[in-house]
Amino acid sequence: MTASHRLLAACLVLGLALVGCAGEKESPIRAMWQPPPGWWQAAARDGGALQRRDGTIYRLDRDAARNLAVARDEIARASGLDFALLIADWDQVNAFADDDRGRQIVVFSTALIRMIGRDQDAVSYVMGHEVAHHKLGHNGETRTDRERATWVASQVIGNIAGMIVPFSGYVVGPAVTGVGRSFTRDEERDADALGLEWATKNGRDPCGAYRLSAALARGGKDPFDLPFLSTHPGHEERMASADALSLRLRGRRCADAPR
C-alpha cells in the first residue's frame, strides 16, 4: 500500500469517526493581524489594541506583548530566519508555521496568548518550535504532496458524511484536510528538540514547555484529536522530555521549578 493509499484509508476512518461530532463546528479565525515593529514596541510598554473588521477591538496586555516580541527577536537571531509574527483572532488554543506567498510566518492564536502570554519560557518554546518547522524544511514539497492527497480525500469523505448526517460534510471535510496540513510525528519531535535548544540557549527555562503541555492536558483533548491518528507527541511525552532537559541543564525537575 502506498503512502497516499495509507493516508486515504486513515482519512476514511477519521471521517466516519467524526460523523458523530458533526454538530460541533470549529470556531473560525475572525481576523489576522501582522503588527509592525513600532506597534510591538509600544504594546510592550502600554499594551496594544488591534481592530477587527466590525470595529471591535482586541486588546493585548503589555506582558504578553513584551514576551511575544522578545521571543520573536531571540528566536530570529538563534535560527537565522527573518520570519513574520502574526496574531489570529481565534478561539482555538493553537500556533502554526506556514508559508505565505514565499514569506515565512508564525501565527499565535488569541486563545493561546491568553493561556501562556505571561509565561516567557512557554512563549519562547512555542515560538522556537514553530520556527524550527521552517528551519528544518517541513513546509517543503513533502507537505505539499501530503496536502494534495488529503484534499482529494476530504472531498470524498465530506460527501459520504453528508449522505449520512445532513451538513456534516462541512465539518468532516475541513477536519480531514487538517490532518494533511499537520506535520508528521517525527517532524514534530524534531521541531520540539530544536525549538527547545534555541530557547534554552537564550536562557529560557525548558519547563515552559512542561507547563504548556500540562495546561493542555488539564484542558482536555480536542474532539478531532484522535490518538491513533494524531501526529503530535502526547502531552505526557512532551512533559517528560522537558523534565529530563531541566534535570540535565538545571539539576531539578519541572515540578520543583519556581515560576
Q: What is the four-CA torsion angle of 205, 104, 132, 63, rounded to 10 degrees?
A: 10
Going by C-beta distance under 8 Å and a sequence separation of 6 or more, which residues neighbour residue 201? 78
How far apart, in whole angstroms, are the C-alpha atoms of residue 41 and residue 226? 40
How far apart, in whole angstroms, are the C-alpha atoms of residue 249 and residue 198? 14
Instruction: Provide the edge-to-edge strand list for the sheet that holds 95-100.
Output: 31-33, 84-89, 103-109, 95-100
Backbone angles phi, psi at 30, to 5 degrees: -80, -30
Which residue has 517532524 as its cell numbers?
187
In 3D, which of 94, 39, 101, 105 has the Cα closest to residue 232?
94
Residue range 206-241, pLDDT digits in tens: 999 999 999 988 876 543 343 433 455 678 888 999
Residue range 123-173, pLDDT digits in tens: 999 999 999 999 998 876 555 555 444 444 444 433 433 333 333 232 333
- Percent of the chain residues past pLDDT 70, beyond the cut: 66
Residue range 9-18, pLDDT digits in tens: 444 444 434 3
**Domain ranges (residues) in the chain:** 3-256
Q: At what angle do helices 185-201 and 207-219 cross, to 10 degrees?
A: 130
Contact 48, 42 (CB under 8 A): yes
Q: Are strands 84-89 and 103-109 parallel, antiparallel or unpaired?
A: parallel
How far apart, in whole angstroms, are the C-alpha atoms of residue 25 and residue 222? 12
Residue range 174-192, pLDDT digits in tens: 333 333 345 788 888 999 9
Burial tier of 255 (Cβ tally within 10 Å: 0-12, 13-18, 19+): exposed
pLDDT at 256: 80
pLDDT at 157: 36
Q: Are strands 95-100 and 103-109 parallel, antiparallel or unpaired?
A: antiparallel
